[in-house]
């Protein structure tokens, strides 16, 4: 029964990782940008949600209606003003810019919100759970996070495959210069991709804030599992990111069943194994 429970908890944990990773995966897929500040953006979104909840008194989930568009707008401006000028020349300069952004975000949040540990309260759903069978109890919040992660990724897939925006993303991703010849302004397309990513970041930020205490320095720890999920799943594949998150989550909880010290190690080992055997991930979609 322990093993069944471990696998179930691991799958739900995978939803969390996929939610943290979806925005990262999207950005990498469209513009090959590794966003080091992704974790700090999630924390910044959490603070934004906190501020809005404090001002309006809305439930954290309802606050998403305001937080998501605000973050998307911020993402668009960030891309147009800061990241676009660094793209294209080489791989390193955008990486360094996002690294700098990460430092600025952490210290800006510290100056604005102090080092206090904060949290958002979502009420009874935080501790609610469903008894599936004896020895297997699933938390309502992890379950909701998993469902939202699946919905976000399904939504992204629809945008990518069915809409003209998705066509623009794919075209720019394949060859930005040719896409430009077809009258696609790749600066604008990149801006929209970052806006979409920042919107997902906002959702991840709200869940982070409900899940546990956060402070301005909580960001970087969120990044590593996101990266691993993206790489295990395969670069450029959004469903792959979800699969990668689940593989990572399940290997961690199974590792913990063997010995608590193995929890993260097992995840890292699986990541390492995937890198060694299939360097492009389990379900790669791009060259």
Partner 1 sequence: MSQQSIAAGLSRRRLIKAGAAAAVLPAVFRIGPSHAADVIRIGHVAPLTGPLAAFGEPVPYVLQQMANRFKNGLNVGGKTYAIEILNRDTESNANRASEVTADLILRDEVRLLLAASTFETVNPVADQAELNGVPGVTADCPWQSYIFGRHGDPKKGFTWTYHFFWGLEDATATYVGLWKSVDTNKIVGGLFPNDADGNAWGDPDHPGALKQSCARNGFKLIDGGRFTPGIEDYSAQISAFQKAGVDIVSGVLAPPDFGVFWQQAAQQKFRPKIVTVAKALLFPSVITAIGDRADGLSTEVWWSPNHPFKSGLTGESAHDMNAAYEKATSRPWTQPMGFKHALFEVAADVLGRTANVDDPASILDALKTTNYASVVGLIRWNNPELKNICKTPVVAGQWVKGPKGFELVICDNSSAPQIPVAGKLRLLS
Q: 199-214: string of b/e by CB count within 10 Å (b at 16+)?
A: bbbbbbbbbbbbbeeb
Q: 8-44: string of b/e by CB count within 10 Å (b at 16+)?
A: bbbbbbbbbbbbbbbbbbbbbbbbbbebbbbbbbbbb
Name the one range near partner 1 by CB under 8 A: 89-97, 135-143, 179-187, 239-247. 135-143
Residue 16 binds to partner 1 (criterion: CB under 8 A) = yes
Per-residue HEC secondary structure of 247-266 comes to HHHHHHHHHHHHCCCHHHHH
Ranges within 215-254 binding partner 1 (CB under 8 A):
215-218, 221, 225, 249, 252-253
How many residues touch partner 1 under the rule CB under 8 A: the total is 51
Of 32, 59, 118, 187, which lies in the binding site for partner 1, with binding defined by CB under 8 A?
Answer: 118
Of 85, 100, 112, 261, which lies in the binding site for partner 1, with binding defined by CB under 8 A?
Answer: 261
Residue 75 binds to partner 1 (criterion: CB under 8 A) = no
**Closer to partner 1 at the Cβ: 142 or 205?**
142
Residue 117 binds to partner 1 (criterion: CB under 8 A) = yes
Residue 56 binds to partner 1 (criterion: CB under 8 A) = no
Nearest distance, CB of residue 273 and partner 1, angstroms = 19
Closest by Cα among 150, 123, 126 to 140: 126
- Report d(CA 221, CA 225) in Å as an integer: 8
Q: 151-189: string of b/e by CB count within 10 Å (b at 16+)?
A: ebbeebeebbeeeeeeebbebbbeebeebeeeebebbeb
Of 6, 71, 152, 247, which lies in the binding site for partner 1, with binding defined by CB under 8 A?
Answer: 6
Cα→Cα distances 131→128, 139, 273, Å: 10, 9, 35
**Closer to partner 1 at the Cβ: 84 or 106?**
106
Closest by Cα among 254, 256, 248, 252 to 282: 248
Nearest distance, CB of residue 245 and partner 1, angstroms = 11
**Closer to partner 1 at the Cβ: 66 or 265?**
265
> Do 255 and 267 contact (CB within 8 A), yes or no?
yes
Nearest distance, CB of residue 8 and partner 1, angstroms = 9
Residue 264 binds to partner 1 (criterion: CB under 8 A) = yes
x/- site string to partner 1, residues 196 to 215, per CB under 8 A?
---------------xxxxx
Nearest distance, CB of residue 127 and partner 1, angstroms = 4
Residue 86 binds to partner 1 (criterion: CB under 8 A) = no
Residues that bind partner 1 (CB under 8 A): 2, 5-6, 9-10, 13, 16-17, 106-107, 110-111, 114-119, 121, 126-129, 135, 137-142, 211-218, 221, 225, 249, 252-253, 256-257, 259-261, 263-265
């Amino acid at each position: 029964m322990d093993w069944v429970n471990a696998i179930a908890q691991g799958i739900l944990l995978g939803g969390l990782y996929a939610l943290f990773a979806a925005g990262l995966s999207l950005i990498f897929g469209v513009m090959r940008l590794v966003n080091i500040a992704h974790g700090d953006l999630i924390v910044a979104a959490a603070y934004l949600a906190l501020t809005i909840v404090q001002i309006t008194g809305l439930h954290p989930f309802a606050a998403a209606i305001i937080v998501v568009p605000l973050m998307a707008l911020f993402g668009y401006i960030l891309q147009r003003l800061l990241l676009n000028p660094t793209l294209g020349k080489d791989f390193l300069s955008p990486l360094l810019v996002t690294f700098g952004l990460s430092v600025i975000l952490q210290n800006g949040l510290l100056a604005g919100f102090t080092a206090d540990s904060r949290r958002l309260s979502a009420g009874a759903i935080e501790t609610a759970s469903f008894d599936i069978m004896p020895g297997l109890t699933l938390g309502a919040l992890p379950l909701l996070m998993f469902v939202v992660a699946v919905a976000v990724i399904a939504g992204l897939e629809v945008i990518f495959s069915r809409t003209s925006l998705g066509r623009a993303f794919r075209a720019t991703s394949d060859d930005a210069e040719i896409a430009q010849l077809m009258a696609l302004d790749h600066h604008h397309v990149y801006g929209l991709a970052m806006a979409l990513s920042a919107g997902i970041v906002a959702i991840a930020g709200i869940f982070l804030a409900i899940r546990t205490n956060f402070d301005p320095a909580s960001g970087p720890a969120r990044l590593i599992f996101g990266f691993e999920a993206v790489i295990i799943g395969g670069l450029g594949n959004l469903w792959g990111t979800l699969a990668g998150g689940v593989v990572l989550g399940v290997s961690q909880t199974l590792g913990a069943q063997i010995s608590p010290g193995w929890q993260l190690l097992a995840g890292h080992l699986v990541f390492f194994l995937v890198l060694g055997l299939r360097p492009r991930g389990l379900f790669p979609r791009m060259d």
